Homo-oligomer: A and B are copies of this chain.
Amino acid sequence: MQAMCSVFIAVSLDGFIARPDGRIDWLNAANAAVPPGEDCGYADFIAEVDAIVMGRHTFEQVLTFDPWPFGDMPVTVLTTKPFRLGRSFPPTVEASSETPQALTARLSAKGLNRLYVDGGETIRRFIAVGLIDSMTITVVPVLLGEGRRMFGALERDLVLDHVTTKSFPCGFVQSVYRFRRDALLQTPTGANPPIDN
């Protein structure tokens, strides 16, 4: 069985997950307006996860959190650089330069069947090879104008199924989308009949 890969991420209304330098001060400021006890579904989401896969940038940001937020959960950090960081991290963390396919297959073989895929570049790589099953996207009502994007270039259109949407009094709009299993088997864009206006 191949692991199910899920995304749970916040984006600005104009589609950024961080400023150009990686800062998420805008997200922290927005979170400050969320009432205590409201986690916008994060605890329910993480309770259904067996392991986390993230990119190096995201990991470096997570390392600044105190305490370590992922308990005993296995974490794989995808990186092509030698894995050397300024401070120690839990033994549950491993580094890997595997492809999304190879990593997913290896973790699945270990019985880690529900993966939380995090970080813009990592999410885009997984999407590009058709490995993401569902995305929970929380839209924060702010326009940043520039930054690191959630989505990137694709070989072809990907049509998703909308599962559910809810909004929160703080102004967040959270939608769940599911990728279609055959999404990567669809006709390439260039071959679509041009239904121009």
Contacts and interface: CB of A to CB of B under 8 A. Distances in A.
A-side interface mostly: loop
B15 A151 contact: yes
A34 to B, nearest CB: 13
Nearest to A18: B197
Nearest to A137: B13
A142 interface: yes
A139 interface: yes
A89 interface: no
A10 to B, nearest CB: 12
Number of copies: 2
A194 B25 CA distance: 6
A164 B173 CA distance: 9
Interface string A123-153: 0000100000000010101111110001111
Per CB-CB distance, the 7 closest pairs between chain A and chain B, nearest first, are A145-B154, A162-B171, A14-B151, A25-B195, A141-B160, A15-B15, A143-B158
A137 to B, nearest CB: 8
13 contacts: A23-B196, A25-B192, A25-B194, A28-B197, A64-B197, A127-B143, A142-B157, A142-B160, A143-B157, A143-B158, A144-B154, A162-B172, A173-B175
A141 B194 contact: no
A29 B145 CA distance: 29
A141 B84 CA distance: 40
B197 A61 contact: yes
Contacts of A13: 137, 151, 160, 177
A173 B139 CA distance: 12
A155 B137 CA distance: 26
